[in-house]
Amino acid sequence: MHRMKTCTAIVGVCVTSIATFGLLTPASANPVSVKPPVVGAPGGRVPGGTRDPGCLGNQSLMALVPLSTVGSTAAQYPTFLLSVPSAAPKSAIFTLQDESRKLVYKTTVNLSGKAGITSFQLPKSMAGLKIGKNYRWVFSLVCNAQAPDQSGNPFVQGWIKRVEMPPTLAQQLQQTSRRDRVTLYQNAGLWYDALATLAELRRTDPNDRALKTAWTNLLNSAGLNQVVTNPLL
Question: What DSSP state is assigned to residue 232?
Answer: B
Is 62 part of a structural domain of the chain? yes
Please write the tens of the pLDDT for every residue from 126-167.
999 999 999 999 998 888 776 656 667 888 888 999 999 999
Is 233 part of a structural domain of the chain? no
Is 232 part of a structural domain of the chain? no
Total structural domains in the chain?
1
Categorize the per-residue pLDDT at 3 as very low, low, confident or very high, splitting at 50, 70 and 90.
very low
Please write the tens of the pLDDT for every residue from 156-211.
888 999 999 999 999 999 999 988 898 898 889 898 998 899 999 999 999 999 99
pLDDT at 150: 63
Is 33 part of a structural domain of the chain? yes
The sheet with strand 62-63 has its strands ordered as 62-63, 79-84, 116-121
The CATH number of whichever domain residue 189 belongs to comes to 2.60.40.4070
Is 127 part of a structural domain of the chain? yes
Decide if 51 contacts 85 (C-beta within 8 A).
Answer: no
Is 162 part of a structural domain of the chain? yes
Task: Calculate mean pLDDT across residues 57-66.
Answer: 78
CA distances to 58, 76, 89, 152, 226 from 195, in Å:
27, 16, 25, 30, 17
Is it the case that residue 9 has pLDDT exceeding 70?
A: no
Please write the tens of the pLDDT for every residue from 104-134.
999 999 988 888 899 999 999 999 999 999 9
β-partners of residue 62 are 83
Categorize the per-residue pLDDT at 39 as very low, low, confident or very high, splitting at 50, 70 and 90.
very low
Domain containing 172 equals 5-227
Please write the tens of the pLDDT for every residue from 74-86.
999 999 999 888 7
Amino acid of residue 28: S
Amino acid of residue 163: V
pLDDT at 141: 86
Categorize the per-residue pLDDT at 5 as very low, low, confident or very high, splitting at 50, 70 and 90.
very low
